[in-house]
Structure 1
Amino acid sequence: MGAGIGVGVIILAVLLIAVLVVLVKSVVLVPQATAAVIERLGRYTKTVSGQLTLLVPFVDRVRARVDLREQVVSFPPQPVITQDNLTVNIDTVVYFQVTRPEAAVYEINNYVVGVEQLTTTTLRNVVGGMTLEETLTSRERINSQLRGVLDEATSRWGLRVARVELKSIFPPPSIQESMEKQMKADREKRATILAAEGHRESAIKSAEGDKASRILLAQGEREAAILRAQAERQAEILRAEGRRAAAYLEAQGEAKAIATRFGAIKSGKPTPELLAYQYLQTLPEMARGEANKVWVVPSDFSGALQGFMRSLGTPGSDGVFRYEPSADDGDSDRGQDIDTSGWFDMPAPVAPVVVKDEPDEPPTRSTLPPLPLGPTASSPAAPSASGAHQADPRPLQSSRRLPTQGPYPQR
C-alpha cells in the first residue's frame, strides 16, 4: 500500500513538472523595443515585440531576440592610405538601427561585424582618393559618403544607418611634427603681420597727431604774428601821434616865445646900442661851430643898425631913434592859447582778427576807426607874417583812415 502511494506521488510530481515545462514553453514575454523571431519546426513564423506571446510547446521556439533601439558602435583605428601615399589611422563611429529583425537574423550572420567591415572598406575607398590635407579638412564630405554607401549596403540586412562620424584621424608622427611646425610658422606669420599692422596704425596715428599739432601750431603762430603786427601798427600810430603833437606844441611854444620876445623888445624901446650889444653877444655863438674856420665882422655894422632904426624907430628929444610900439602891438599875444584837449586821447583799439579754419580764405577784420594823422583845414592856423597867431579852439582831428585791405595790417 505504501509503495503504491509513493509511486502515485512521483507520477503526480512528474505530471506537475511536465505541466510547468509546457506552460513555460508555451508562454513568451517580449519586452518593448525588443523583437523576437519565432520559428515553428525550424521555419520562420512571425516576429513579435512588446507583448505576451503563446507558443505551441515543442513546436514553436524563439530563434533570436533583436534590440530595436538605435545602436552606437565605435570601431578601432583603421590604417588608411591617402592619395599622397601617407598612412593615417582613422576611428569611426556608426549609428544604426534594426528595422527588420527577421532580415538581421536570416540575411547575415553578425550584422555588427558586417557593418564594421563594410565601414572599413568604404572608408579606404573614399580616403584613398584624397590627399592628407583634404582628408583633414573634408570630414563632413567623408561622413556623408560613408553614410550613403553603408545605408544602401545594409538595407537588405534590415538595418538603417543614421549617421557615420570620423572620431579621430592620426597622421604619422613625422607628418604631425611637420604639421605642428607649419602651424607654428603660420601663427608666427600672423603674429608678425598683426605686429606690423599695429606698428603701421601707430605710425599713421602718430603722423596724423603730428600733422594736427603742426597745423594748430602754424595757426597759432599766424594769429600771434597778426596780433603782433596789429600791436606794432597801433604803437607806431600812437608814437606818430605823440611826435606830431609834440612837434606842433613845440612849434606853437617857439612861436609864442618868439612873439613874447619880440613884444618884450618892442615894449622896451631898444636903442641901436642895445641891438649892437646883443649882436656882439651872439657872434661867439655863431662862430662856435666846428665848420666855421674864418668869421668876418662887417665894417659897416653900425651904419646898418642906424638905417634899421631909422626905418622902424622914431627920433627922440636927444636925437636917438627908438622903437615906438603901434596901437595893436599889445594884442600880439592874443590867440596863442591853443586847445589841445583831444590831442592825446587814445584811439579806439584795433578790431581783432577773425581767423577761419579754411587756409584759402584770408582772415577778416572790421574797419579801423579814423586815426588823426596830421593837421587839416580844421587845425590851428600857422603864424602869419605879421607875428599874430590865430588858433582854432576845436581839438585837432583827422578824417583820414588807414587802409585795411589784406590779411595783415599795413603800416
Structure 2
Amino acid sequence: MELISPGLIAALMIVAIGVLIVAKGLVIVRQSEVMVIERLGSFNRVLESGINIIVPFIDQPRAITMIRYRKMGDEYHPITSSETRIDRRETVMDFPGQPVVTTDNVTVNINGALYYQVIDPKRAVYEVENMSQAVEVLAKTTLRSVVGKMELDKLFESRAEVNNEIQAAMEEAASKWGVKISRVEVQDIAMPEEVESAMRLQMAAERKRRATVTEAEGEKAAAIAMAQGQRESAILNAQGDKESAILRAQGEQESIKLVLSAIGDSEENKRTVVGYLLGQSYIKALPTMAQEGERVFVPYESSALLGSMGMFREMAGSPEEALTKAGERRGLAGGMLGASAGE
C-alpha cells in the first residue's frame, strides 16, 4: 500500500483553505436587511441585500443590540439579543404600562406601542450604544412629559393629539440615531378604582341631565306647536265669522233691494221696510232676553206689536198684495181722519 505524498497533502490543504476563504468571503444578505462591515476595527461599508464579498478575518460585521418584550402571563419580560443583521423594516415596540401623573394629580397607568424604522444603519450602530433601549426610554420620558401637561378628561378626549405630540417630540432626537419614528399609539389607560367610580357617577349624571334637557325641549316644542295651532284656528274662525257676516249683510242688502224694487222706492216704503226689519230683529231678540235674563220683557204697546206682525204677514205675501194692502191701510187711515175732522 503506497503512502500519500507530502505534495498531495499540501495541495489538499491549500484547496481546503481556499474553499474556507471563499466561504467566509461570500456573504448573502436577505431582502430588507443590511450589515455594517468593519475592517480592522473601523467602519468600512454597509452590505445591501444580495451576494457580497468580504475579506475573511479582516472584514467583520458589527453587531447591534436589540431589546424586545415578550409577554409571559400578565407581565412583559425584556429579551436582549445581539444581531449582526439589521432589519430595516418597520418594527413595533410594545413597552409595558408606565405610571404617569396628570395635571389634576391623578396617577394613571398608560400602555403604549411605538413603531419605528432604521433608516441609517451606520448611525444606529455608531451614534448610540443601544439603539432600541434609547428609543424606548425616549418614548417613556416623552409620554410622561406630554401626559403630565393634560387633565384626565382631556387625555381621554385627545388620544390622537397625544400620539401626534409624542411622535413630533421624538423625531428630532431619533433622527440623530438614524431612526424614523413612524407613529406612537396609546393603547390602554388604567385608572385607580375610586377615580373610575367617580367618572362612572359623573357619566350617569351627565346622561340624566341630557335626558332631562331633551324632555324639556320636547315639551317646549309641543307647547309651541299647540299654541300655533290654536292661534291658526282662532284666525280661521275669525275669518269665517267675518266672511259669514259679510255674506249675511250682502244677502240682507240684496233682499232689501228686491223688496224696494217690488213695492217702490218711495220714502214711505223705505220706512215700512226698515220697520219690518227692526220688528223682525225685536221678535228674534225676545226669546233670548227671556232665557238669559232674570226678567221677562213684555212690549208696552201690544197694538204696535200686533201691527208689526200684520205688516210682516203682508210683507210675506206677493209684492202686489203688499201694495194693495198698504193702499187700503192708507185709505182707511184717511177716512178715519176725515170722520174725526167732521165731528
Measured against the shorter chain, the TM-score band is: 0.5 to 0.7
Higher normalized helix content (fraction of residues) = 2
Larger fraction in strand:
2
* Corresponding residue of 1:38: 37
Deviations 1:74-104 (A, max 9, x none): 2222111112221111122222221221221
Which residue does the alignment assign to 1:344? 319
Match of 2:2 in 1: 2
8 Å contact kept, 2:259–2:319: no
Residue type of the partner of 1:29? I
Matching of residue 107 in structure 1 with residue 82 in structure 2: no
1:365 is matched with none
Match of 1:166 in 2: 186
Contiguous gaps of at least 5 residues in structure 1: 249-342, 346-371, 388-411
Distance apart, 1:24 and its partner CA: 1.1
CA–CA separation in structure 1 for the residues paired with 2:118 and 2:323: 118
Alpha-carbon offset, residue 239 of structure 1 = 8.5
In structure 2, relative to structure 1, the CA distance for the partners of 1:120 and 1:375 (3 Å cut) is same
Show the counterpart of 1:132. Answer: 152
Decide whether the 8 Å contact of 1:103 with 1:157 is kept in 2.
yes
Q: Distance in 1 between matches of 2:174 and 2:249?
A: 101
| Superposed displacement of residue 10, structure 1 | 6.7
Q: Distance in 2 between matches of 1:30 and 1:52?
A: 6
1:182 counterpart = 2:215: no
The secondary structure found in structure 2 opposite 1:57 is: coil
Q: Secondary structure at the match of 1:165?
A: strand
Say if 1:344 and 1:32 are closer, same or farther in 2 by CA, change over 3 A.
Answer: same
User: TM-score, normalised on structure 2?
Assistant: 0.63
- 1:158 Cα deviation after fit: 1.9
Deviation at 1:126, TM superposition (A): 2.3
Structure 1 distance, partners of 2:91, 2:324, is 117
Asked if the contact 1:92–1:166 (Cα under 8 Å) also holds between the matched residues in 2, the reply is yes
Q: Structure 1 residues 155, 237: CA separation in 2 closer, same or farther (over 3 Å shift)?
A: closer
Counterpart of 1:267 in structure 2 is: none
Q: Which residue pairs with 2:244 in the alignment?
A: 224
Aligned partner of 1:58 in structure 2 is 57
**Equivalent residue runs for 1:3-402 within 5 Å:** 3-4=3-4, 14-63=13-62, 64-228=84-248, 344=319
Q: In structure 2, what residue type is equivalent to 1:53?
A: N
SS in structure 2 of the partner of residue 157 of structure 1: coil
Change (3 A) 1:56 1:374: farther
Q: Which residue of 1 aligns with 2:304?
A: none
Cα distance in 2 for partners of 1:137, 1:99 equals 33
Q: Within 1, Cα distance between the matches of 2:324 and 2:257? A: 11
Is the Cα–Cα contact under 8 Å of residues 102 and 148 in structure 2 kept in the other structure? yes
Q: CA deviation at 1:11?
A: 6.2
Q: In 2, distance between residues paired with 1:78 and 1:101?
A: 29
Question: CA RMSD of the aligned region, Å?
Answer: 4.0
In the alignment, the residues of structure 1 paired with residue 324 and residue 226 of structure 2 have an alpha-carbon distance, to the nearest angstrom, of: 56
1:13 Cα shift?
5.5
Match of 1:400 in 2: none
Q: Which amino acid aligns with 1:148?
A: A
TM-score after normalising by structure 1: 0.53
Say whether the 8 Å CA contact 1:241–1:373 is kept in structure 2. Answer: no
Mapped to 1, the partners of 2:261 and 2:50 lie a distance apart of: 128
- Once residues 52 and 42 of structure 2 are traced to their aligned partners in structure 1, the CA distance between those partners, rounded to angstroms, is 17
- 1: CA distance, partners of 2:208 / 2:11: 91
Please give the per-residue CA displacement for 1:302-341, whole angstroms capped at 9, x wherever unaligned: xxxxxxxxxxxxxxxxxxxxxxxxxxxxxxxxxxxxxxxx
CA displacement 1:37-66 (0-9 Å, x = unmatched): 111223321112124221112211222221
Q: Distance in 1 between matches of 2:218 and 2:32?
A: 63
Q: SS in structure 1 opposite 2:4?
A: helix
Greater C-alpha Rg: 1
What SS is found at the alignment partner of 2:85?
strand
